[in-house]
C-alpha cells in the first residue's frame, strides 16, 4: 500500500492572514510554503497582490512566486505541474509542504478535490466570445452553469470564456471530487473583521506605492488590456492610469470589488467540509503536529 505524502493547506479569503500563518507553521514544522495564488506567480505584481516580502518570509522558503512574466498566461495546469514537482522535492528533503493561497481552483486541482475537464480548446467559439463584454459572458455562464457562476470572478474574461467553453461542450464545469492524491490537513481562516482588514490593507498598499508600481509595469510594456485581464487591483489601476475614473472612485470601487471577491472565495471554500476553521496560530500548530505525527 502506497503511503501518501502529507500536506498542510491553509486557505480562506483575501486579507485573512494566510501568509502569516503559513510562515509561522513552516518555522515550527520545518516547512516550506507553496503559494497558490493565481496572480502572485507573476513577476513585478508585488504590492498590488500583497505578495509576501523577503523580510516577511523570515527565512522560510517560498515557491511559485515570481515565476512568470505578467505578459504571459499562467494556467492552472502550469500551476499543478510545478506545484507537484515542488511537493515531491520538499518531501524528498524531509520537509513539510504547506500550500497557502486563496485561489480555490488552484488549490482544489492540486490537492485532488477537482478533476480536469477533458474539453479541448474550441478556437471558433473562443473567437466569438472574445468579442463580448465580461458582463455578457458572465450572464451567459449564469444560464449555462449557475454553480460555476457563483465562484468565478465575473470580470476575468479568460476564465469566463473557458468556463463557457466547458459548459457548452459537456453541460457544466467539473464538480468537486475526492481524488485522493495526498493526505491533507485543511486549515481555514475567515476572521469576523475581514472587511476592516481589507480596508486597512488597501490603505497600506496605497502608501507603499501600488499606483507607482502599476505605472512602472506599464512603462515596461504591460498593456492596460493585460492589466485589466489580471483583475482586481490591476483592473482598477488600469482605469485610474487611463483617467477613466478618479482617485476617489478608484479607492471606493476597488475596495468594494475586493470585498465581493472575498465573498466568492468564502463560497468556494465553505463547500469543503474537511476544512478546520481555526481561530488562532496555537490551534493551527496543535492540529498540524497531531496530523504529522499520525
Between 166 and 117, name the one with better pLDDT: 166
Rounded CA Rg of the chain: 19
Q: Could you give the CA distance from residue 238 to residue 259 in angstroms, rounded to a whole number?
A: 19
With respect to residue 285, please indicate whether it lies within any of the assigned structural domains: no
The residue written with cell numbers 481555526 in the block is 278
pLDDT of residue 153: 78
Backbone dihedral region of 122: left (phi > 0), alpha (psi from -120 to 50 degrees) or beta? Answer: beta
Domain region containing 144: 116-174
Per-residue pLDDT for 2 more than 70? no
Confidence band, pLDDT 50/70/90 cuts, at residue 228 = very high
- CATH number at 202 reads 1.10.287
Per-residue pLDDT for 175 more than 80? no
With respect to residue 154, please indicate whether it lies within any of the assigned structural domains: yes
Cell triple for 4: 501518501
Our count of domains for the chain comes to 2
Per-residue pLDDT reduced to its tens digit, 236-283: 999 999 999 999 999 999 999 999 999 999 999 999 999 999 999 999
Q: Could you give the CA distance from residue 188 to residue 104 in angstroms, rounded to a whole number?
A: 12
The residue written with cell numbers 495546469 in the block is 77
Number of Cβ within 10 Å of residue 7's Cβ equals 23
Q: Could you give the CA distance from residue 264 to residue 138 in angstroms, rounded to a whole number?
A: 14
pLDDT of residue 156: 79
With respect to residue 216, please indicate whether it lies within any of the assigned structural domains: yes
Contact 64, 260 (CB under 8 A): no
Helix (H/G/I), strand (E/B), else coil: 173: coil
Per-residue pLDDT for 67 more than 90? yes
Q: Could you give the CA distance from residue 256 to residue 235 in angstroms, rounded to a whole number?
A: 13
pLDDT of residue 241: 98
- CATH number at 155 reads 1.10.20
Comparing 9-13, 123-127, 192-196, 243-247, which segment has the lowest mean pLDDT?
A: 123-127
Contacts of 51 by beta carbon, 8 Å cutoff, 6+ apart: 40, 45, 65, 66
Mean pLDDT score of the chain: 92
Beta strand 96-100 with 183-188: parallel, antiparallel or unpaired? unpaired
pTM of the shown model: 0.85
Contact 11, 17 (CB under 8 A): no
Per-residue pLDDT for 116 more than 80? no
With respect to residue 290, please indicate whether it lies within any of the assigned structural domains: no
Contact 229, 156 (CB under 8 A): yes
Element (H, E) at 292: helix 281-293
Give the single-character DSSP code of 17.
S
Comparing 99-113, 149-163, 194-208, which segment has the lowest mean pLDDT?
A: 149-163
Comparing 153-162, 206-215, 233-242, 258-267, which segment has the lowest mean pLDDT?
A: 153-162
Cell triple for 163: 468556463
With respect to residue 79, please indicate whether it lies within any of the assigned structural domains: no
With respect to residue 258, please indicate whether it lies within any of the assigned structural domains: yes
With respect to residue 10, please indicate whether it lies within any of the assigned structural domains: no
Comparing 21-35, 60-74, 139-153, which segment has the lowest mean pLDDT?
A: 139-153
pLDDT of residue 79: 94
Alpha helices in 68-223 (DSSP H): 76-92, 104-111, 123-130, 134-144, 146-149, 157-170, 194-208, 210-219
With respect to residue 211, please indicate whether it lies within any of the assigned structural domains: yes
Q: Could you give the CA distance from residue 167 to residue 174 in angstroms, rounded to a whole number?
A: 9
Phi, then psi, of 172 in degrees rounded to 5? -165, 165
Are 152 and 204 found together in one domain?
no
Amino acid at each position: 500500500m502506497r503511503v501518501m505524502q502529507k500536506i498542510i493547506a491553509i486557505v480562506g479569503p483575501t486579507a485573512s492572514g494566510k501568509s502569516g500563518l503559513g510562515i509561522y507553521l513552516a518555522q515550527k514544522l520545518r516547512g516550506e510554503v507553496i503559494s497558490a495564488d493565481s496572480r502572485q506567480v507573476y513577476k513585478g505584481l508585488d504590492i498590488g497582490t500583497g505578495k509576501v516580502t523577503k523580510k516577511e518570509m523570515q527565512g522560510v522558503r517560498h515557491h511559485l512566486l515570481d515565476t512568470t512574466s505578467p505578459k504571459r498566461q499562467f494556467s492552472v495546469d502550469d500551476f499543478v505541474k510545478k506545484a507537484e514537482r515542488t511537493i515531491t522535492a520538499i518531501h524528498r528533503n524531509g520537509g513539510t509542504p504547506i500550500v497557502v493561497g486563496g485561489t480555490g481552483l488552484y488549490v482544489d486541482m492540486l490537492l485532488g478535490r477537482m478533476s480536469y475537464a477533458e474539453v479541448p480548446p474550441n478556437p471558433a467559439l473562443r473567437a466569438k466570445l472574445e468579442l463580448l463584454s465580461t458582463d455578457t459572458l458572465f450572464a451567459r455562464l449564469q444560464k449555462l452553469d449557475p454553480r460555476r457562476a457563483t465562484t468565478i470572478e465575473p470580470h476575468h474574461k479568460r476564465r469566463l470564456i473557458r468556463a463557457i467553453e466547458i459548459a457548452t461542450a459537456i453541460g457544466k464545469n467539473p464538480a468537486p471530487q475526492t481524488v485522493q492524491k495526498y493526505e491533507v490537513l485543511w486549515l481555514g481562516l475567515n476572521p469576523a473583521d475581514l472587511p476592516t482588514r481589507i480596508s486597512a490593507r488597501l490603505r497600506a498598499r496605497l502608501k507603499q506605492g501600488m499606483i507607482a508600481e502599476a505605472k512602472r509595469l506599464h512603462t515596461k510594456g504591460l498593456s492596460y488590456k493585460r492589466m485589466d485581464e489580471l483583475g482586481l487591483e490591476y483592473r482598477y489601476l488600469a482605469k485610474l492610469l487611463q483617467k477613466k475614473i478618479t482617485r476617489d472612485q478608484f479607492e471606493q470601487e476597488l475596495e468594494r470589488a475586493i470585498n465581493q471577491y472575498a465573498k466568492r472565495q468564502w463560497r468556494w471554500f465553505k463547500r469543503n467540509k474537511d476544512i478546520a476553521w481555526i481561530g488562532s496560530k496555537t490551534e493551527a500548530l496543535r492540529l498540524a503536529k497531531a496530523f504529522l505525527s499520525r
